[in-house]
Chain A
Amino acid sequence: MWGSNARSAHPIFFHHILKGIHNGARMYCVDPRRSDSAQWADVWLGIDVGTDIALANAVAKVIVDEGLHRLDFIEKSTTGFDDFVESIQSYTLEYAEQTTGVPGDVIREMAIAYATAESAQICWTLGITEHHNATDNVLALINLSLLTGHVGRYGSGLVPVRGQNNVQGGGDMGALPNKLPGFQDVEDHEARGKFEAQWGHPIPAKAGNHLTLMFEAMEHGDMKALYVIGENPAQSEADVGKARRIMRGLDFLVVQDIFLTRTAEMADVVFPAAADWCEADGTVTSSERRVQRVRKALEPPGDAKTDVEIVSMLAAELGYSWGLPKAEELWDELRSLSPMHAGMSYQRLEDLGGLQWPCYDEEHPGELFLHGRLWEDPPRGRLAPFSPIVHAPPVDQLSDEFPYRMTTGRHLDSYNTGVQSGGYDSPLRAGGTIDVSPEDAASLEIAEGELVTVSSRRGSLEAPLRIDEALRPGLVFMTLHFPDEADVNQLTIEAWDPQSGTAEFKATAVRLEKAAL
């Protein structure tokens, strides 16, 4: 587990991990906090925030130095090994210990355990991806799996655990600036032509902007209208004060949501939507690429309509007559255009409790894991490249003025900006606190429950202090669940990864002071 607190954020996935642990599987947990998940680990590696590449490269160097890399797999199925080995030479255990805060012998132990295990997986979530160098972090982990052959085999693999019930499905369906449904490239003429023929309309031939670039375009006045569906950027964006200023500068904002969110409050037009998971029919795709049916159990309130109805009605206003297609009809059209979904009829999804893509025809059972092709002889398709990666510390550096490293994450009973989870009374709800280590609470002379002023280079807020023994001195924590109480994204930095567009929510430099009464 690397940068994932699945015990709290993905509890039922963690049930499966616990079964493994009870069956004798060993778990190493890399996390700045001794999280709920870390408490189940054989070894907890309390890493300093944003030093994952230094750790991963040091692990790789141990594996290579000890001769534990899997040369047959590397030679047959990968490229760039020699350059990669050269790139990790400076990542000695001494350097890694100094940079990451994890003792060298512990790094060495994990490296040897990972390399010599019959099967091993690396699971990660936003602790890896909410950094300015998110893609590099992921590539550094991929390097480890290529070194050891822990990929594309039953029981081994790379497991990014998805944070939303259909964030995978959104990508699958082409809600990405450069992809059509089924991950077909929008700039691929043949693929695009297929969709254009089916839809009877040309599709822009160039990749669009991802969210972060959209905000830049809005800031520069290149983008003047925005249509937001089921997202709450007025509370979820990093450096949210700036994001709100930018959105206020728009000529026209449309928001389609099940609630009048803070973003919807800013809108010129609001489309009240039905809740997809219980007021409409359709599918979602889970973290394990499993496409499953969602079904209508409730009538939506008032004038709320399903997303399909709203989009169809909007199309009618724009002069296109789509009628009101049923979810299954849309899905069948998707199956005709996206080969990896072709075998997933509604009937099969119903009978089998979901199917994991790719699923090419109605006889195909779906794939339990990907990249098995790398083990074929010779490997099918493109060989897997090693990526030389250089450690780069968080953008928001610690200083005398901002000496604490703040990171963010989820609580078990709450979710994202609280739009959904705020609706029920949870006996566990802790509220928007600033969590600090017992040592820091003592040195700051602030007691639990007392108000603290938390300031970063971008903003400042007040929140009650909570002592958390899972934190080490110098590390503080806030959740994103309670923006109305503690607007944590006033503090976070919008520095973002140029490849994924994800902002560095996980690493903010802050100052703590007892709030003036």
Chain B
Amino acid sequence: MSITEPDQQSRRDRMAVLARAEGRQLRELWSGLGIDPAFEMVRGPETGLATVRGRISGDGAPFNFGDVTVTRASVRLQDGAIGHAYRLGRDQGAARLCAVIDALSRDAATAATIASQVVEPLRETLAARDRQRQAETAATKVDFFTLVRGED
């Protein structure tokens, strides 16, 4: 295979966080790193559509149910490292930045810096939002109690 990063799971995990990250926080954390590598665009950044599939009754045969906007980018650093990025929406600058971060993460030392200073803070922001929403939803749970029980 063309991609030789040892741990594809951690790469996927990082890409999932970068894809969901809000553009402004992503840019802030990135500029905090103080890295500005030279790179060339291999493809994009370009915005297009992905057609979303669902499953009939939730777990049955697939069907198409609408499109989402997606922006993708692929870059090559001067040392030849390739990076790819996909994100929902149309933020081309963010997609390009995510591709650069992906390419830089081929280097283990840089990957560790990026993980601790960019990816983990983003992940924590996203997790905090999820926790808050779950807690707000949980507060609307119905606690049924029995008023009268008929016993003969």
Answer yes or no: are A and B bound together in one complex: no
Chain A interface residues (CB < 8 Å from chain B): none
